[in-house]
Amino acid sequence: MELTKQPIFILSCVRSGSTMLRCIIDTHPNLCSPGHLSLGPLCTHLYSTAYYSLGKLPDIVTEEQRDKRAAEETLRVVDDLLGRYTQGKGKQNWCEKSTINVDYLEILEKVFPHAKYICLYRNSLDVVNSCIKISPLGYMPELAPYVQKHPTNLVAAMLDSWLEKTGKLIAFEQAHTGQCIRINYESLVLQPEHILEKLFNFLGEPWDESLIGSVFQVPHDQGDGDLKVWFSGKINTDSIGNGTAIPLTAIPNEWLGALNTRHEQLGYPSIEALYAGQQNRDDQTAHAMDLNDFFQNQFFQHAAEKMDKSKQLRGICKFVITGFNGGVWVIEGDTTGLTLLDDGVSGDCTIATSYNVFCELLAGRKNAIHAYEQGEITADGNKNLALEFGTLLFGG
């Protein structure tokens, strides 16, 4: 069986749907896509080995020859390995999807000059939310360096990763337009027939809509990636838009410009527009609580029932509520009790959450500790003071 000389790479950030896409590609009768192979690092090491061994033989006299020999030997090893894998699967070509490959684009381009690349993107907020939710007890190797840079704000860590990796991917796509196709995760799950027809035409492979129904029926080689895929029976859309559950205050203000620029390049709404859209959705479904009335009247009635606790508060807490009826309310505690201040006043601490979570906390349908552990409520500044205000409002 003759293999093509144009292997396929799925390039994406983590938590962008690459596992699902590689299973779709693996379902095609001509294509196979194994689990993570990390070909970027592998090619780097193979190239270095060939460069400093075969590249140093007497017949190699120029740097250009040495580079060419190292790249050819790397290609030979990988092509032999994956060629035999592909033949064993009864297919004609292979596709690699390791997310770490985004950091190894230069070596991949050198070794596979005719490869085709699927540039897979996903909304930054949904990527961050998925990263935090899927792995609360640890982080994927690709994300660990960003957590080290931002140990006190995991949202910032995940956004830093998304900005850096997406920037590399967009630049590579722009420099290799003939070899790249852009796929947005949201479009893929909402319009799979349309997007996949376009994708397989780009890959030069026949398209049959019945493939979609077979994705979760045929076996696929397991490996690192999204475990949810193995428990799915269809392409789901329920992961779209969940990123606005992240409190807006967790996003560094100085990064909004860069995030919005990337979103615009990828056809996504701005960060502010995403939160405004969530507010509109909440407006259609929520039983409205007037938060102005709550903080001007009900909050103080609520505090009066715990007067001993409220008199102990010394400081200013800013409550930031996003979504429907959202806004900012500032409460000061001193020896005289509690006072509502102008929302422009700086606070000693900040408690942030969404409108829906806030209402569920007040109604007792959600536990404040659980919400905090799930990242649905955040506290910044003086954490002890925030805890006291939070206990007054949501405790007991």
Amino acid at 300: F
Number of neighbouring beta carbons within 10 Å of residue 57: 10
Q: How confident is the model at residue 230 (pLDDT cuts 50, 70, 90)?
A: low
Fold: same for 8-237 and 291-394: no
Q: What percent of the chain has pLDDT over 70?
A: 89
User: Which has the minimum average pLDDT: 190-199, 258-267, 308-317?
Assistant: 308-317
User: What is residue 281's predicted lDDT score, i.e. its pLDDT?
Assistant: 57
β 93-96/31-32 pair status: parallel
Q: What is the pTM assigned to this prediction?
A: 0.75
Instruction: Give the whole-angstrom CA distance, residue 107 versus residue 275.
Output: 39
The strand pairing partners of 338, in sequence order, are 333
Asked whether the predicted pLDDT for residue 77 surpasses 90, the reply is: yes
Residues in CB range of 23: below 8 A, 6 or more apart: 33, 215, 216, 220, 229
CATH fold of the domain at 8-237? Rossmann fold (3.40.50)
Q: Which residue has the higher pLDDT, 8 or 301?
A: 8
- Residue 260 · residue 271 · CB < 8 Å: yes
Q: How confident is the model at residue 135 (pLDDT cuts 50, 70, 90)?
A: low
User: What is residue 275's predicted lDDT score, i.e. its pLDDT?
Assistant: 84
Q: Mean pLDDT across the chain, nearest whole number? A: 87
- Rounded to the nearest 5 degrees, what angle is found at the Cα of 181, between the Cα atoms of 177 and 187? 140
Q: What percent of the chain has pLDDT over 90?
A: 53
Helix (H, G, I), strand (E, B) or coil at 99: helix
Spans of all domains in the chain: 8-237, 291-394
Instruction: Give the whole-angstrom CA distance, residue 184 versus residue 122.
Output: 6
Asked whether the predicted pLDDT for residue 252 surpasses 50, the reply is: yes
What's the whole-number mean pLDDT along residues 94-104? Answer: 96
Number of neighbouring beta carbons within 10 Å of residue 349: 21
Asked whether the predicted pLDDT for residue 365 surpasses 50, the reply is: yes
Q: Which residue has the higher pLDDT, 289 or 202?
A: 202
User: What is residue 287's predicted lDDT score, i.e. its pLDDT?
Assistant: 54
- Residue 222 · residue 51 · CB < 8 Å: no
What's the whole-number mean pLDDT along residues 290-318? Answer: 75
* CATH code of domain 291-394: 3.30.1050.10
Amino acid at 305: E
What's the whole-number mean pLDDT along residues 287-309? Answer: 72
Q: What does the pLDDT look like over 155-189, one tens digit per residue?
A: 999 999 999 999 999 999 999 999 999 999 999 99
What's the whole-number mean pLDDT along residues 190-204? Answer: 96
The strand pairing partners of 121, in sequence order, are 184
User: What is residue 335's predicted lDDT score, i.e. its pLDDT?
Assistant: 79
Residues in CB range of 328: below 8 A, 6 or more apart: 318, 319, 320, 321, 343
Asked whether the predicted pLDDT for residue 310 surpasses 70, the reply is: no
Residues in CB range of 302: below 8 A, 6 or more apart: 392, 393
